[in-house]
């Protein structure tokens, strides 16, 4: 096997200087400055893979997987025989987009390029393995007890594919809203992860705008929106839920904002 760096012939001195400045900026975590300098270097040397490669990696660190994938594809076209980790990372990004790898895999486990991420150790960038359920963010349905047991069982059997959460609950807990591609470990009443689900759709709506398809997907035997609404109001108005929200008088109405989420079972 013979390794080589291609596309670097007759690189303008200014482009090389801008590239070096960009690497310094990226190394200290100034990604915005790094991308600006890399764009300038790319404009001066459009056939040189290095600036595009480093721009792709910088976009990956920023969480812009789509832009990173496009730039890695550009590098792969310029250097089809391979350019550092381009082919590997491009493959990971494409598999991530196809749902074969969990969202964020490429960013979390990309090999270090001299850039840094706050709080990350160098070894974190080279641990290329699928994250087990114990390392995924967790999700709890209801409170521990019969209701959670019922909901978890419905998830495991595939009969529950939707769920509804209060925006107020997310805000009170300081948690981000779910988004498509999010994978979470489902926790049972004993606190153990028993399944992994992936969010396929999530949107914020008025409680009064929930539809029958969503109600049926809850997997709790509802046959109408009215039944679904009554069941959820009992839960949201319970002493446990009001205590969790820190609001003993909490109530919902048609204008209450809720997150309607659809998901699929990945593994159990």
Q: What pLDDT digit, counting tens, does each position of 31-45 carry?
A: 899 999 999 999 999
What pLDDT, on the 0 to 100 scale, is given for residue 135? 66
What pLDDT, on the 0 to 100 scale, is given for residue 153? 93
SS3 state of residue 249: coil
What pLDDT, on the 0 to 100 scale, is given for residue 91? 87
Instruction: Supply angle C-alpha 131, 133, 135, rounded to 5.
Output: 60
What pLDDT, on the 0 to 100 scale, is given for residue 102? 67
Walk me through the domains of the chain, giving residue ranges and CATH numbers.
13-126 (1.25.40.10), 133-267 (3.10.400.10)
Residue 124 DSSP one-character state: G
What pLDDT, on the 0 to 100 scale, is given for residue 108? 62
What pLDDT, on the 0 to 100 scale, is given for residue 233? 97
Locate tokens 């009992």: which residue?
234
> Helices (DSSP H) in 62-185: which residue ranges?
65-78, 86-97, 105-108, 146-157, 167-173
The residues with which 257 forms a beta bridge, in sequence order, are 206
Residue 106 DSSP one-character state: H
CA distance 163 to 36: 42
Locate tokens 């200290």: which residue?
28
Residue 34, H or E segment: helix 31-44
Strands 257-267 and 162-166: antiparallel
Q: Which residues of 247-268 are buried (b: 16+ CB within 10 A; e: fewer)?
A: eeebebeeebebbbbbbebbee
Instruction: Supply angle C-alpha 57, 61, 66, rounded to 5.
Output: 70
CA distance 156 to 225: 24
Are the beta carbons of 59 and 68 closer than 8 angstroms? yes
Nearest of 138, 73, 124, 132 to residue 102 by alpha carbon: 132
Contacts of 191 (CB under 8 A, 6+ apart): 144
User: Each residue of 133-180: pLDDT tens digit?
Assistant: 556 889 999 999 999 999 999 999 999 999 999 999 999 888 888 888
Q: What is the pLDDT along the chain (268 residues), one digit of tens a residue?
A: 343 444 445 788 998 899 989 888 887 778 899 999 999 999 999 999 999 999 999 898 888 889 999 999 999 998 887 777 788 888 889 988 888 776 777 776 554 444 444 444 433 333 333 445 556 889 999 999 999 999 999 999 999 999 999 999 999 888 888 888 888 999 999 988 888 999 999 999 999 999 999 999 999 999 999 999 999 999 999 999 999 999 999 999 999 999 999 999 986 5
- Using CB atoms within 10 A of its CB, is residue 243 exposed (0-12), middle (13-18) or buried (19+)? exposed
> Strands (DSSP E) along the chain, which ranges?
138-140, 162-166, 183-187, 193-206, 257-267
């Amino acid at each position: 096997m013979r390794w080589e760096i291609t596309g670097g012939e007759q690189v303008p001195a200014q482009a090389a200087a801008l590239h070096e400045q960009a690497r310094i900026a990226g190394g200290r975590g100034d990604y915005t400055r790094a991308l600006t300098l890399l764009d300038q270097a790319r404009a001066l040397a459009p056939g040189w893979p290095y600036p595009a490669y480093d721009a792709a990696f910088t976009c990956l660190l920023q969480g812009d997987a789509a832009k990173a994938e496009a730039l890695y594809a550009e590098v792969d076209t310029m250097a089809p025989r391979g350019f550092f980790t381009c082919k590997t990372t491009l493959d990971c990004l494409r598999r991530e987009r196809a749902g074969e790898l969990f969202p964020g895999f490429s960013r979390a486990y990309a090999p270090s390029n001299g850039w840094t991420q706050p709080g990350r150790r160098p070894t974190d960038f080279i641990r290329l393995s699928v994250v087990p359920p114990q390392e995924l963010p967790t999700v709890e349905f209801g409170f521990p007890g019969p209701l959670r047991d019922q909901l978890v069982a419905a998830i495991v059997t595939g009969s529950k594919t939707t769920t509804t959460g209060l925006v107020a609950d997310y805000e009170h807990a300081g948690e981000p809203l779910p988004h498509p591609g999010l994978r979470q470990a489902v926790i049972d009443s004993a606190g153990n992860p028993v399944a992994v689900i992936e969010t396929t759709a999530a949107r914020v709506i008025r409680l009064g705008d929930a539809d029958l398809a969503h109600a049926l997907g809850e997997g709790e035997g509802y046959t109408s929106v009215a039944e679904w609404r009554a069941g959820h109001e009992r839960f949201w108005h319970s002493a446990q839920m009001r205590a969790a929200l820190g609001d003993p008088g909490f109530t919902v109405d048609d204008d209450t904002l809720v997150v309607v989420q659809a998901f699929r079972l990945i593994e159990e």
